[in-house]
């Protein structure tokens, strides 16, 4: 789940900084545009958030023995 939470939080923090700097936040003066682009690109390169959330959900359901289909693994 950390692969979903950390990039999203980083984007929120940088987005707030961009908002505080107004037009300067998207200029090259402060480097905030680059700071926003880097974690955004990492979110896409790692895998979409939905993939990570689905993986976590499957692991949790498997632990509880409530996975709705046969995975070939004992619960």
Number of domains in the chain: 1
Residue 42 forms part of a structural domain: yes
Residue 70 forms part of a structural domain: no
* 18 φ, ψ (degrees, to nearest 5): -60, -45
Residue 75 forms part of a structural domain: no
Q: What is the mean pLDDT of residues 17-30?
A: 83
Q: What is the mean pLDDT of residues 54-71?
A: 77
> What CATH number has the domain bearing residue 43?
1.20.140.10
Residue 23 forms part of a structural domain: yes
Amino acid 70: pLDDT = 54
Token output for 4: 């979903």
Domain that holds residue 32: 2-64
**DSSP H helical ranges for 1-75:** 2-20, 32-46, 49-64
Amino acid 75: pLDDT = 46
Residue 30 forms part of a structural domain: yes
Rg (CA), the chain: 18
Residue 73 forms part of a structural domain: no
Q: Which residue has the higher pLDDT, 39 or 73?
A: 39
Q: Is the pTM of this model over 0.85?
A: no
């Amino acid at each position: 789940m950390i692969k979903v939470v950390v990039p999203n939080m980083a984007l929120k923090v940088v987005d707030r900084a961009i908002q505080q700097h107004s037009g300067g936040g998207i200029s090259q003066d402060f480097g905030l545009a680059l700071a926003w682009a880097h974690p955004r690109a990492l979110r896409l390169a790692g895998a979409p958030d939905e993939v990570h959330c689905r993986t976590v959900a499957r692991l949790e359901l498997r632990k509880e023995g409530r996975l709705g289909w046969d995975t070939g693994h004992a619960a």
